């Protein structure tokens, strides 16, 4: 597809979003319908003067009539990990939504002349997943220090903020009754992005985010346009490497050993209470902590199997921990714009306010109905009109222009 065809598609879409047929648009532009039809088929050129006229008639910005980039072999999305044909209908729809989100985000950034923070990832030498597994502990420790997380502290759900701060966009969407855990892409117009299945429990979502971060580091950093799709229980070398990195990043060996040294048990004496204390301190699942302790050689053989057989939530409650409702039965409630980056939502709302995105376009970007989008705008207006909102702005020293 050449540049003329790409512009033709965006010109056609802009006319349709403006609610005009070809005859109405041609009359407003002062040209005959055949010329407009030729431009929309990519058969007639669209010069700068015509672009300006089109933007004025369709009430949009000129940049919205231009492609963000011309696709080529280096920037086409290519599936890695799970094959595209192996996905269920629901999983395929979720991945398609993820890809559309990336495209919308990249286009909005380009239109606004804005940019995301430069990705702050390790510059790793090329290597196979097998050779990389020997260095994963050091890599995880190096990234923690590069992100000023220290070598022993828990991260938990703060990981999502750290990812955004360091140039990795996060997209969360619920995909129920699925083995899909997440995905990651090195998007040509957006950079590194991770997708997390929000149907999983909060600790599992954090682990998935760290897992997808590993794919960005090891498998996608030099693969612009590569999209890695991850499913639970996959045992390929790439997936094992990502699991190893996520475990080391979220549960650093030094932190675990320091925590246990303060509690007192030797390795062979580590029991249920110790594992539960560790998993709640590091804000991970009981199963993830068990596997990590086995990886570190702290749990072995029959002792590991005995601890795996317990019911951790019931044990935690009996030990006096405040057990959350989701620990017994998790029913995710993710209502958009939840799960979308704040910057992305703000760009959509700004473009809508500037009338470069119609309500239908803005609602589509935010993955909601037009009526729900209208309700969202009303909610924001009520918040902005409330006295407490102005007080909060003054307290935060935010200037309102």
- Which pair of tokens denotes residue 40? 């929309």
What are the φ/ψ torsions at residue 194 (nearest 5 degrees)? Answer: -120, 145
110: nearest Cα among 68, 60, 53: 68
Model-level pTM greater than 0.85? Answer: no
63: nearest Cα among 116, 109, 115: 109
Euclidean distance between the first and final Cα of the chain, in Å? 43
Predicted confidence at residue 278, as pLDDT, reads 97
- Which pair of tokens denotes residue 171? 């997209």
Burial class of residue 171 (count of CB atoms within 10 Å of its CB; 0-12, 13-18, 19+): buried
Cβ atoms 172, 339 nearer than 8 A: yes
Task: Please write down the HEC assignment for all residues of the chain.
Answer: CCHHHHHHHHHHHHHHHCCCCHHHHHHHHCCCHHHHHHHHCCCCCCCHHHHHHHHHHHCCCHHHHCCCCCCCCCCCCEEEECCHHHCCHHHHHHHHHHHHHHHHHHHHHHHHCCCCCCCCCCCCCCCCHHHHCCCHHHHHHHHHHHCCCCCCCCCHHHHHHHHHHCCCEEEEECCCCCCEEEEEEEECCCEEEEEEECCCCHHHHHHHHHHHHHHHHHHHCCCCCEEEEEECCCCCHHHHHHHHHHHHHHCCHHHHHHHHHHHCCCHHHCCHHHHHHHHHHCCCCHHHHHHHHHHCCCCCHHHHHHHHCCCHHHHHHHCCCCCCHHHHCCCCCCCCCCCCCHHHHHHHHHHHHCCCCCHHHHHHHCCCCHHHHHHHHHHHHHHHHCHHHHHHHHHCCCCCC
What are the φ/ψ torsions at residue 181 (nearest 5 degrees)? Answer: -100, -40
How are strands ordered across the β-sheet holding 169-173? Answer: 78-81, 226-231, 180-187, 191-197, 169-173
Predicted confidence at residue 291, as pLDDT, reads 97
Instruction: Give the whole-angstrom CA distance, residue 4 versus residue 265.
Output: 70
Cβ atoms 260, 274 nearer than 8 A: yes
Cβ atoms 173, 97 nearer than 8 A: yes
CA dihedral angle for residue 211, residue 214, residue 215, residue 219, rounded to 10 degrees: -160
Instruction: Give the whole-angstrom CA distance, residue 187 versus residue 105.
Output: 11
Domains of the chain: 3-65 (1.10.260.40), 78-250 (no CATH), 253-328 (no CATH), 342-395 (no CATH)
In order along its 401 residues, the chain shows pLDDT tens digits of 455 677 788 888 889 888 899 999 999 999 999 999 998 988 887 876 787 788 889 888 766 776 654 333 333 456 677 766 678 888 888 998 999 999 999 989 988 888 888 999 998 876 777 778 889 999 999 999 999 999 999 999 999 999 999 999 999 999 988 899 999 999 988 999 999 999 999 999 999 999 999 999 999 988 888 899 998 988 888 999 999 999 999 999 999 999 999 988 776 689 999 999 999 999 999 999 999 999 999 999 999 999 999 999 999 999 999 999 999 999 888 999 999 999 999 999 998 888 888 888 899 999 999 899 999 999 888 877 776 655 554 555 443 33
Instruction: Give the whole-angstrom CA distance, residue 252 versus residue 258.
Output: 10
Predicted confidence at residue 208, as pLDDT, reads 98
């Amino acid at each position: 597809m050449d540049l003329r065809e790409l512009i033709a598609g965006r010109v056609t879409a802009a006319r349709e979003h403006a609610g005009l047929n070809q005859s109405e648009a041609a009359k407003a532009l002062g040209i005959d319908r055949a010329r407009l039809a030729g431009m929309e088929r990519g058969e007639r050129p669209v010069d700068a003067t015509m672009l300006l006229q089109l933007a004025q008639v369709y009430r949009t910005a000129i940049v919205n009539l231009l492609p963000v980039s011309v696709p080529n072999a280096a920037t086409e999305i290519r599936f890695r990990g799970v094959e595209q044909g192996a996905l269920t209908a629901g999983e395929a729809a979720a991945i398609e939504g993820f890809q559309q989100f990336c495209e919308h985000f990249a286009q909005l950034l380009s239109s606004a002349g804005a940019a995301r923070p430069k990705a702050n990832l390790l510059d790793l030498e090329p290597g196979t997943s097998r050779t990389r597994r020997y260095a994963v502990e050091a890599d995880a420790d190096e990234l923690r220090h590069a992100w000023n997380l220290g070598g022993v502290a828990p991260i938990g759900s703060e990981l999502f903020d750290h990812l955004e701060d360091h140039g990795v966009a996060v997209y969360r969407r619920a995909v129920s009754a699925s083995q899909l855990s997440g995905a990651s892409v090195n998007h040509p117009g957006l950079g590194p992005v991770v997708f997390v299945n929000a149907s999983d429990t909060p600790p599992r979502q954090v682990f998935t985010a760290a897992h997808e971060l590993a794919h960005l580091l090891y498998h996608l950093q030099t693969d612009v346009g590569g999209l890695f799709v991850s499913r639970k229980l996959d045992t390929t070398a790439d997936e094992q490497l990502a699991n190893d990195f996520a475990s080391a990043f979220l549960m650093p060996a030094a932190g675990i050993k320091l925590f246990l040294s303060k509690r007192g048990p030797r390795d062979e004496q580590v029991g249920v209470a110790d594992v539960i204390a560790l998993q709640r301190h590091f804000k991970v699942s009981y199963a993830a902590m068990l596997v990590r302790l086995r990886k570190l050689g702290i749990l072995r053989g029959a002792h590991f199997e005995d601890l795996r057989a317990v019911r951790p939530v019931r044990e935690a409650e009996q030990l006096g921990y405040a057990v959350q409702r989701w620990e017994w039965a998790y029913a995710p409630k993710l209502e958009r714009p939840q799960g979308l980056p704040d910057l992305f939502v703000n760009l959509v709302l700004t473009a809508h306010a500037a009338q470069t995105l119609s309500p239908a376009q803005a609602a589509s970007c935010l993955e909601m109905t037009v009526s729900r989008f209208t309700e969202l705008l009303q909610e924001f207006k009520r918040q902005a009109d409330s006295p407490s909102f102005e007080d909060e702005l003054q307290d935060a020293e935010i200037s309102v222009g």
